[in-house]
Each structure stands twice: as C-alpha cells, then as structure tokens.
Amino acid sequence: MVTPFRLVSCAAVLVLSHPALAAEDAIQQPQLILLHQPAPRTAGPSPERAQALMLAVESMQARSLYAQFFVDLRLSESQIDTLTDLIAKHDMPAAEQFLGSAGFQTLEKYQETLPERYQLNRLVSLLIAVGHELTSEQSSQLLAIMREERGDQLQHWPNSDAFDARIKPRFEAVLSVEQREFAERYFAGRAERRHAPGPAHSPD
C-alpha cells in the first residue's frame, strides 16, 4: 500500500514578559526599590486545540492536492467533504470502505503522483489566477514528464537545478504560448527558493 503523502505545518509561540520597574528618588530616599513583576504568561493551545488546528491544515492541503481526483471520480460536495476528512486523518481503511476496492486502487495510484502534484500546485494556481489554466490533458502530460524524469528515485523530491533543466523544455512543448510566460516565472521562483540563504525551503 502506498504511504500517503503528508505535509505537516509547524508553529511557534513566543511569549514576552515586560518587568515593571519603580524607584524612589535617590536624593530624598537613598534606597532603590526594584519591583519585578512579569506579565502573566499566555497559555499555549491545549492538545485538543492543537490537534484540531493540525487537522484543519491537513484538510485544506488534501482538498487542494486531491482536487483533480475528486473531479475524476465525479464526487458530490458531500462526498468530497467526507473523503477529505478521511484523507486528512490518514484513515485509509475507512477511505477504502468509502470508495470501494476499485476506487481505492485509483486513489493509491493518484497518491503516487502527489510529490509532482505538490510541486505543480504553484504553477496550476498561477495559471488559474491569470485565466490560462491547464487542461486535464496538459496536467496529465506535465505530471508524466516529472514522474519520468524522477525515474526510480521515487523517495527523492524532484527539485534541483538539473531536474528543472530537463523538464523545462518538455513543459514548453506542452504549454501554450501564453502559459509559457508564467511557466518562466514558476521555474525562476523554484530556483530562487532553492538557493535562498537560511533554513531549508519548501520544495514546491
């Protein structure tokens, strides 16, 4: 069984405390009184609240990354809500029961392309925003190109200068003239994020 792609978000809570300082006039009263009264700390989210927030993030990711799968299976909105919740909870036994054997096999095949779909998501969103969205056929072709270039190294993210150099001309052969302009921005952004200083960046 294919392990479902999982994207996890992290958050940090910084609590600042401001001490209060009071002093009498040293000339009139030769004493310095220091009163240190830290502001009360703000309690972090409860485990239940943290879990709910994480589930909300994963639900949002699932709805985005599995959008084409929902379209392909022609699911209703209520069915999409149910399946999104199961995917976000990583409840694959329940997902299989919900989809049936054939539907679940289709889901597993779809999950194999999630690394590529995740990286294409930025390009897909950009093209939608400018009114030049990919057709289903174009999307399938771009995914196939990325998967073919990734080859047998399925455990690695397809994200490097060499990888982009191989797929870029193949992308251009699939995209329209209008789409190619925005694909240039997409590849430039990938390179910029790869080489930006600091902590490791998102591979999309």
pLDDT in tens, 20-63: 223 323 333 334 334 445 555 556 678 888 888 999 999 998 98
pLDDT of amino acid 32: 37
Question: Of the ranges 6-10, 12-16, 152-156, 198-202, which is most confident?
Answer: 152-156
- Model confidence at 159, pLDDT cuts 50, 70, 90, reads confident
Within 10 A of 178 (CB to CB), how many other CB atoms are there? 11
By CB neighbour count within 10 A (0-12 exposed, 13-18 middle, 19+ buried), where does 66 fall? buried
DSSP class of 31: -
pLDDT of amino acid 16: 28
pLDDT of amino acid 132: 92
Return mean pLDDT, the chain. 77
Amino acid, res. 144: A
Euclidean distance between CA atoms 118 and 83, whole angstroms: 19
pLDDT of amino acid 43: 63
The three-point CA angle 165-167-170 to 5° equals 120
DSSP class of 67: H
- Indicate the domain borders of the chain: 48-111, 114-195
Stretch 167-185: mean pLDDT: 95
- Model confidence at 152, pLDDT cuts 50, 70, 90, reads low
Stretch 144-168: mean pLDDT: 79
Euclidean distance between CA atoms 33 and 119, whole angstroms: 60
pLDDT of amino acid 27: 31
Query: Over 50: is that where the pLDDT of 94 sits?
Result: yes
Length of the chain (residues) = 204
Phi-psi region of 35 (alpha: psi -120 to 50; beta: other; left: phi over 0): beta
